Amino acid sequence: MVQNIAILGASGYTGAELVRLIATHPSMRIVALSGDRKAGMAMSEVFPFLRHLDLPRLQKIDEINFSNVDLAFCALPHATSQEVISALPRDLKIVDLSADFRLRDPAAYETWYGKPHSAPELQKEAVYGLTEFYRDEIRGARLVAGTGCNAATGQYAIRPLIEAGVIDLDDILIDLKAGVSGAGRSLKENLLHAELSEGTHAYSAGGTHRHLGEFDQEFSKIAGRPVQVRFTPHLTPMNRGILASVHVKGDPQAVHRALADRYLTETFLEVLPFGALPSTRDIRGSNYVHIGVIGDRIPGCALVVAVLDNLCKGSSGQAIQNANLMLGLDEAAGLRLAPVFP
Ligand SMILES: NC(=O)C1=CN([C@@H]2O[C@H](COP(=O)(O)OP(=O)(O)OC[C@H]3O[C@@H](n4cnc5c(N)ncnc54)[C@H](OP(=O)(O)O)[C@@H]3O)[C@@H](O)[C@H]2O)C=CC1
Ligand SMILES: CC(=O)N[C@@H](CCC(=O)OP(=O)(O)O)C(=O)O
């Protein structure tokens, strides 16, 4: 049966990526799209790359009739999302792409987002959306919280290593390069082409990036004790893609084996042969994650490199993977697109 889908925030980057992916999904049909400043416009006016599709016009959220909607994707800014979702029908299935429902602990939310959560009961209800590690909970969930894109990249590299007990938990360093579309589509001065092309810089350094809240929550849960990693993202002049270089202490071969074993049966996770390292250009536009491991000249040190597309596996692709589970569909439906190369 075809499922009726609404996309809130369809005039943004992740919203447009949802439309691109759902356009060829065998069991999803888009029945409503929302914009804020762009409400009233046709999607083809906002995004000429989608003009071959027959899509509903962008509406304000309060103009949408949710009675015939089976699932809504919510691709809105943080804070706006919790207000909007609080006002939606309580039986509507929702995949939220914002940060609003990722952290379980209200105090942690306040620490990383600077103000108290306005919908703590929904925060409790939400399931964390890192599909390969929360599959069973996601299947039965009404509200799923998509992960941060940086947070997903780091976790794919590190979670199996904590699970297998092959690394020193007190010495994990994530050095990450992030593509510009990760910052969203709204105009920001520091995202002007002239100011970010031909250069790269660290941001949210010194252990201040809000995705550390997700790393703390998830790694400590697996380890059964507090685990804190060092994490520095760098804004990199590419449109899509994230590359995380994760430096760990552990036997490199054991590190590689732990990742290869854990992801052996996963459709979207590819562990490269030992010594081979991945590139963002091999996963662009796709839902795949590539992971490579190499040893260091210093014995007992390993480098794990993970790459994914922030707009696909890092947000909208992951969201569709989770929606497939929530709707009882094939988990990979609509997501087997090959990467765009070169
Ligand atoms: N970009 C990425 O790689 C990732 C993003 N995310 C998260 O996903 C969410 C969407 O991100 P992204 O697509 O990049 O963001 P964009 O800035 O590109 O888009 C935001 C969307 O929200 C709409 N919007 C903004 N303010 C309001 C409001 N007050 N009421 C209703 N609608 C509003 C905008 O409408 P309009 O333009 O018409 O005003 C637009 O459709 C964010 O929470 C982001 O943090 C998560 C993982 C990765
Ligand atoms: C380049 C850039 O700015 N990237 C964003 C990541 C966006 C993302 O995953 O997430 P949220 O949903 O948590 O905003 C950042 O590092 O803050």
- Global pTM reads 0.98
214 and 294 assigned to the same domain:
yes
For the Cβ of 325 lying below 6 angstroms from any atom of ligand 2, the answer is no
Q: What is the pLDDT tens value at each position of the chain, 342 positions in all?
A: 899 999 999 999 999 999 999 999 999 999 999 999 999 999 999 999 999 999 999 999 999 999 999 999 999 999 999 999 999 999 999 999 999 999 999 999 999 999 999 999 999 999 999 999 999 999 999 999 999 999 999 999 999 999 999 999 999 999 999 999 999 998 777 788 998 899 999 999 999 999 999 999 999 999 999 999 999 999 999 999 999 999 999 999 999 999 999 999 999 999 999 999 999 999 999 999 999 999 999 999 999 999 999 999 999 999 999 999 999 999 999 999 999 999
Range of the domain at 106: 3-147+313-326
236 and 262 assigned to the same domain:
yes
Residue 331 lies in a domain: no
108 and 171 assigned to the same domain:
no
Q: CA dihedral in degrees (207, 215, 13, 317; nearest 10)?
A: 160
> In CATH, what number is assigned to the domain containing residue 24?
3.40.50.720
> In CATH, what number is assigned to the domain containing residue 294?
3.30.360.10
Strand pairing report for 230-235 and 143-145: unpaired
119 and 77 assigned to the same domain:
yes
Assess whether 149 carries a catalytic annotation: yes
167 and 293 assigned to the same domain:
yes
In order, the DSSP letters of 129-156 are --HHHHHHHHHT-SEEEPPPHHHHHHHH
133 and 35 assigned to the same domain:
yes
Determine the distance separating the centroid of ligand 1 and the alpha carbon of 215, expressed in angstroms. Answer: 23
Query: Smallest Cα–Cα separation from 112: which of 227, 216, 12?
Result: 216
130 and 191 assigned to the same domain:
no
C-alpha span between 158 and 83 (Å, rounded): 33
For the Cβ of 99 lying below 6 angstroms from any atom of ligand 2, the answer is yes
304 and 157 assigned to the same domain:
yes
Residue 138 lies in a domain: yes
Contact yes or no for 75/8 (Cβ under 8 A): yes
Ligand found nearest the CA of 78: 1
Structure ipTM: 0.98
305 and 319 assigned to the same domain:
no
Q: How many domains does the chain have?
A: 2
155 and 291 assigned to the same domain:
yes
158 and 303 assigned to the same domain:
yes
117 and 182 assigned to the same domain:
no
C-alpha span between 255 and 275 (Å, rounded): 12
**Given the residues 74, 149, 301, 312, the one annotated as active site:** 149
For the Cβ of 152 lying below 6 angstroms from any atom of ligand 2, the answer is no
